[in-house]
Amino acid sequence: MMAIMGTGFGTSMTVGPWGHVTSSFDPGAGAQQRLAEEQWAFEKQKYQNELKQSKAAGTSLSKLINQYNQGWAEAKAANEARYQQGLGIIDQTTGQREADIRSDYAGQRSDIMQQLARTGMGNTTISPTMGLGVEREKQSALNRLADSLQGTKLGWIERREDEYPESDMIVSLINQLGKGSGGQSGSQVYSALGNMRIA
């Protein structure tokens, strides 16, 4: 019984009935070997190209995220400055209103004291009593102003709406690139997301 085996290098071996081995040229085996080598070279090149593209995508995403983070930091600084400016305006307005209240009630007290003096009652017990009444009214007005200030500040805080750069587009882009990249190259794409400032 004879058996014919391809060696994969363009030759084949024939084993005779007594174990005698002869070899002959086999053009089919050589062609298969060349196809296998070409396929391996193609797959290797394809993998190397994908790895380069993934690394390039990771670098580009890192730059994009750095730009986003810079915009985010600038927006945060601008938002905080605007917020503090708003609180400062509230405090300034309230301070002026407080000064006006004190001035108004000081004027009222002065008018009352002058009236009592004109009528000859300036040195009586009525004078301190009237003065205490004006002081109570002034304190009530200041308390109402403080309550108003608190309400205004709370409203300002509750209505605070800070604007930041949109992150949805970058996250979507990273997800798409990550899905198209596997293994280590995919992790390079996803690692860019770790440096992104969202909140």
Contact by Cβ (8 Å): 105, 131: no
Average pLDDT over residues 34-42: 75
The string of DSSP codes covering the chain is: --EEEE-SSSEEEEE-TTS-EEEEE-HHHHHHHHHHHHHHHHHHHHHHHHHHHHHHHHHHHHHHHHHHHHHHHHHHHHHHHHHHHHHHHHHHHHHHHHHHHHHHHHHHHHHHHHHHHHTT-TTSTHHHHHHHHHHHHHHHHHHHHHHHHHHHHHHHHHT--------HHHHHHHHHHHHT--HHHHHHHHHGGGG----
Q: Which residues pair with 14 in a beta bridge?
A: 4, 22
**9 or 88: whose pLDDT is higher?**
88
Residue 74, pLDDT > 70, answer yes
Better-predicted residue by pLDDT, 175 or 109: 109
- What is the average pLDDT across 138-163? 85
Quick: pLDDT tens for 57-66: 667 777 777 8
The dihedral region occupied by 5, where left means phi > 0, alpha psi between -120 and 50, and beta the remainder, is: beta
**Could you tell me the pLDDT band of residue 105, with boundaries at 50, 70 and 90?**
very high
Residue 136 has what pLDDT?
Answer: 93
Determine the pLDDT at residue 24.
Answer: 53
The rounded distance, in Å, linking the Cα atoms of 83 and 80 is 5
Alpha-carbon gap, residue 130 to 106, rounded angstroms: 12
Supply 59's token pair. 């670098």
User: Which of 147-151, 153-157, 174-178, 186-190 bottoms out in mean pLDDT, i.e. has the lowest?
Assistant: 186-190
Question: Mean pLDDT over all residues of the chain?
Answer: 75
CA angle 43–44–46, rounded 5-degree value: 60
Residue 89's closest CA among 101, 79, 81? 81
Read off the tokens for 61. Answer: 């995403």
pTM strictly above 0.95: no
Q: Which is higher by pLDDT, 58 or 46?
A: 46
Report the C-alpha gap between 71 and 64 in whole angstroms: 11
Per-residue confidence (pLDDT) for residue 8, from 0 to 100 = 46
Residues 106-123: tens digit of each pLDDT: 999 999 888 888 888 878
* Residue 152 scores a pLDDT above 60: yes
